[in-house]
Amino acid sequence: MLSIYSTLTREQRPFESLEPGRVRMYVCGVTVYDYCHIGHGRTFVAFDVVRRWLQASGYKVTFVRNITDVDDKIIRRAAERGVTTDELTDEFARAMQEDMLALGCLAPTFEPRATQYIPQMLNLIGKLEEKGFAYHAADGDVDYAVRKFPNYGRLSGKSIDDLQSGARVQEREGKHDPLDFVLWKSAKPGEPQWDSKWGCGRPGWHIECSAMAMDLLGETIDIHGGGPDLVFPHHENEIAQSEAATGHQFARTWMHSGPLRVRSADGKEEKMSKSLGNFWTIRDALKETNAAYGEGCGAEVLRFFLLRSQYRSPITFSSVLIEEAHKALVRLYTALKGRAADRAALDWNEPFAARFKAAMDDDFNTALAVSVLFELATEINRTGSPELVRQLLGLGRILNILGMDPEKFLQGGAEASDDASRIEGLIEERALAKKAKNFARADEIRKSLLAEGIELQDGAAGTTWRRI
């Protein structure tokens, strides 16, 4: 039975959805003012795998991933570039969707944009005001009275009495308490704004997700997920405002991906930061991996790298570890090369599949699940079993890997390119040299290709090649 660790309870418990056979799942998306970075990739690949496993387990999943398209950062960036906020957010929303597709993530069931849900946000703020949890501040903003919510801090493990105004708490005249957070910001000249009973303004960040989640999934949802940086204050504030408004539990299970750090050339691990010069966008990473391993192949290598660790585990991003992921994928594809699967369905009673399922049911332990794939590959290399080839392909499909033609992957994505034609030409020349007993020339060709990272493999059906 599937069990999931909840950030809120700090326990791993058997998963039971609110409605049998259906899962309502909300994962916080990105604020679209710039390209997504590799940390976003780690989070969204992790939750893509969660979703895929839930579906493989027989659940109908409604998956919502929002787009934050109104925010201080968006307004500043649009002004810097001399474009409208709509132009800016449209550009980077498209880029985000392209990046997620490249990483093999399923499109969400719904992808709401915050600006499309202003009425729902105003309605929610109105409920909070009626119940005494929100107040119209002297400066025109509408704020949430944090101390009136008795369980504030339970998700993050922060005691309300210990919380102080600081890095994650915004000081502002008009607040009744430094801990209070804004629900509705009064309008400023040149900023996007909407009418409300409190005057023209725009929503605060936290209210956006609560309104979108409850409108699309209901007042109580099964799973709410996001990156580790969202636990406090964003998700803490989502709980406070949602549960204060409805009187119901907002999310039954809270899930958060682990942190991502970057390893520099000297081996030092650091938080990814533009100021440190170690900032990687998903596009940067895809450009590097596709250049190294072949167009399309690099994207699968990057996805495989991101899912090799269990989603809550810390993960380190480095070129060395990416290369290790590539070598590991080569092992799996090599086991599939030249072998056909039978036409039967994936058999969950088969021992390898059963161990894979046990790993995934244990809080989506992809690290252990991937190790089962390597065991399968070893057995395929030993037996050549079509049944096991089918099993490996089927289990890989659940993680959305191993979907390429093995020969193409091992050749670095080469098709009818000039480089592929050149290599095939050299292989033909080598075959003619061997036929003519010119073994020195044949060996010279093999060595020259090996120096390029191309390994020749002679077999009964002829000579094939792969990039190493």
Average pLDDT over residues 179-197: 95
pLDDT above 50: residue 10: yes
374: left (phi over 0), alpha (psi -120 to 50) or beta: alpha
What is the rounded CA–CA span in Å between residue 211 and residue 218? 10
Instruction: Tell me what percent of the residues of the chain surpass a pLDDT of 70.
Output: 93
**How confident is the model at residue 168, as a pLDDT?**
47
Same domain (yes/no): 219, 273: no
244 is a domain residue:
yes
13 is a domain residue:
no
Query: Which of 204, 236, 256 is a domain's end point?
Result: 256
Name the residue among 400, 466, 412 with its Cα closest to residue 102. 400
Lowest-confidence region among 356-365, 375-384, 392-401, 408-417: 408-417
What is the rounded CA–CA span in Å between residue 142 and residue 206? 13
What is the rounded CA–CA span in Å between residue 203 and residue 191? 12
Same domain (yes/no): 327, 446: no
What is the rounded CA–CA span in Å between residue 366 and residue 258? 13
pLDDT above 50: residue 430: yes
Q: How confident is the model at residue 458 (pLDDT cuts 50, 70, 90)?
A: confident
pLDDT above 50: residue 166: no
Same domain (yes/no): 424, 401: no
pLDDT above 80: residue 267: no
| Longest Cα–Cα distance in the chain | 93
Query: Domain with 226 in it: what CATH number?
Result: 3.40.50.620
Same domain (yes/no): 104, 230: yes
Q: How confident is the model at residue 89 (pLDDT cuts 50, 70, 90)?
A: very high
Same domain (yes/no): 392, 271: yes
Query: Domain with 384 in it: what CATH number?
Result: 1.20.120.640
Average pLDDT over residues 442-448: 81
4 is a domain residue:
no
Q: How confident is the model at residue 275 (pLDDT cuts 50, 70, 90)?
A: low
The per-residue pLDDT for range 410-421, each reduced to its tens digit, is: 988 755 455 667
Lowest-confidence region among 135-149, 260-274, 365-379: 260-274
Same domain (yes/no): 44, 139: yes
The per-residue pLDDT for range 150-163, each reduced to its tens digit, is: 989 999 998 887 77
Same domain (yes/no): 237, 266: no
Please count the structural domains in the chain.
3
Q: Which domain holds residue 309?
A: 261-409
Same domain (yes/no): 427, 405: no
Same domain (yes/no): 90, 221: yes
**How confident is the model at residue 295, as a pLDDT?**
87
Three-class HEC string of the chain = CCEEEECCCCEEEECCCCECCEEEEEEEEEECCCCCEHHHHHHHHHHHHHHHHHHHCCCEEEEEEEEECCCHHHHHHHHHHCCCHHHHHHHHHHHHHHHHHHCCCCCCCECCEHHHHHHHHHHHHHHHHHCCCEEECCCCCEEECHHHCCCCCCCCCCCCCCCCCCCCCCCCCCCCCCCCEEEEEECCCCCCCECCCCCCEEECHHHHHHHHHHHHHCCCEEEEEECHHHHHHHHHHHHHHHHHHHCCCCEEEEEECCCEEEECCCCCEEECCCCCCCCCEHHHHHHHHHHHHCCCHHHHHHHHHHHCCCCCCCEEECHHHHHHHHHHHHHHHHHHCCCCCCCCCCCCCCHHHHHHHHHHHECCCHHHHHHHHHHHHHHHHHHCCHHHHHHHHHHHHHHCCCCCCHHHHHCCCCCCCHHHHHHHHHHHHHHHHHHCCCHHHHHHHHHHHHHCCEEEEEECCEEEEEEC
177 or 418, greater pLDDT: 177
248 or 432, greater pLDDT: 248
The per-residue pLDDT for range 30-76, each reduced to its tens digit, is: 999 999 999 999 999 999 999 999 999 999 999 999 999 999 999 99
Query: Which of 229, 256, 283 is a domain's end point?
Result: 256
Q: Is the backbone peptide bond immediately before 406 cis, with ω within 30 degrees of 0?
A: no
Q: How confident is the model at residue 427 (pLDDT cuts 50, 70, 90)?
A: confident
424 or 230, greater pLDDT: 230
132: left (phi over 0), alpha (psi -120 to 50) or beta: left
Residue type at 281? T
Same domain (yes/no): 61, 90: yes
Lowest-confidence region among 94-98, 151-155, 344-348, 462-466: 462-466
375 is a domain residue:
yes
Same domain (yes/no): 195, 52: yes
Three-class HEC string of 215-231 = HHHCCCEEEEEECHHHH
Average pLDDT over residues 415-434: 70
Lowest-confidence region among 26-40, 196-210, 418-432: 418-432
Count the alpha carbons within 13 Å of 338 in the hemisphere toward its beta carbon. 13
**How confident is the model at residue 418, as a pLDDT?**
55
392 is a domain residue:
yes
pLDDT above 90: residue 344: yes
437 is a domain residue:
yes
User: Dihedral angle at the C-alpha atoms of 131, 134, 137, 139, nearest 10 degrees?
Assistant: -140
6 is a domain residue:
no
**How confident is the model at residue 416, as a pLDDT?**
43
Query: Which of 256, 283, 299 is a domain's end point?
Result: 256
Q: How confident is the model at residue 337 (pLDDT cuts 50, 70, 90)?
A: very high
**How confident is the model at residue 271, as a pLDDT?**
79
283 is a domain residue:
yes
Same domain (yes/no): 57, 181: yes
242: left (phi over 0), alpha (psi -120 to 50) or beta: alpha
Residue type at 282? I
pLDDT above 50: residue 9: yes
